[in-house]
Structure 1
Amino acid sequence: MDIQQLVKAMTPEVYENLRNAVETGKWPDGNALSEEQKSNSMQAVLMYQAQVEQSDQHMTIGKNGEVVQKSRQQLQQDFANALDKDSDKNDLDKDDLDRDNTQDAAVSSSPQDLNTIARFKQDDI
């Protein structure tokens, strides 16, 4: 089996394990990679990035086989876009949570509960 077939047969989980092994120098079980294993794993990771993943992330291998390098301005823009997406998602989740909590509080609380502070027993502390 040549490297091309091997890369096409790799699952995303295998790719992640190889990538983590190359990054840390250790297999998931804690054993260190030999120099040959590092070299082969790195080659497989780079081939997978170029042929299968085709990522446009900074410092990965793009579909053309070249290292994707972004300027500082591009990275800042990508980061800002990611924050905006997370913020929009969190706003929606927060609205849903607030609505649920308000409904739950109205159903389960009595007027006395709204004015009390949490009390703990000695055993709880």
Structure 2
Amino acid sequence: MNLNAMLEMLDEEIVERLKTAVEIGKWPNGIALTNEQRIICMQAMLAWEHTHLPQEQRTGYIEKPHSAKHTDEDDLPIRFV
């Protein structure tokens, strides 16, 4: 099964379950996700959101403030130290 076929089978309810499983590290029945399952669930969730949701509703979206004093520094990537 390819990625597109898998994404077509997902709906919003399933994606929410995947998101919860990734967040808490467990399936709804309480069984822990393996690292591989967590990665696959996260990839499927993000791919589905990219296809079906507007940018501002996707996981990880950060809104850029619109200020009158816009500089080139505002466009620099976020750096975590």
State if a TM-score over 0.5 links the two structures: yes
- Given residue 35 of structure 2, which amino acid in structure 1 is its aligned partner? E
Shift of 1:13: 1.3
Shift of 1:55: 4.5
Q: Contact 1:26–1:33 (CA<8 Å) still a contact in 2?
A: yes
Shift of 1:4: 1.5
Please give the TM-score of this superposition, normalised by the length of structure 1: 0.47
- Tell me the residue number matched to 1:21: 21
Percent identity, aligned pairs only?
33
- Tell me the residue number matched to 1:68: 61
Q: Contact 2:21–2:33 (CA<8 Å) still a contact in 1?
A: yes
- Given residue 62 of structure 2, which amino acid in structure 1 is its aligned partner? Q
The higher-RCO structure (CA 8 Å, 6+ apart) is: 2
Q: Contact 2:56–2:63 (CA<8 Å) still a contact in 1?
A: no
Q: Name the Cα RMSD after superposition.
A: 1.9
Give distance in 2, aligned partners of 1:38 and 1:68. Answer: 20
Structure 2 unaligned residues grouped into runs of 5+: 67-81
Greater helix proportion: 1
- Tell me the residue number matched to 1:4: 4
Cα deviation 1:46-76 (Å, max 9, x = unaligned): 001101233413x62xxxxxx53214x57xx
Number of equivalences: 66
Cα deviation 1:78-98 (Å, max 9, x = unaligned): xxxxxxxxxxxxxxxxxxxxx
Which structure is larger by alpha-carbon Rg, 1 or 2? 1
Structure 1 unaligned residues grouped into runs of 5+: 61-66, 75-125
- Tell me the residue number matched to 1:30: 30
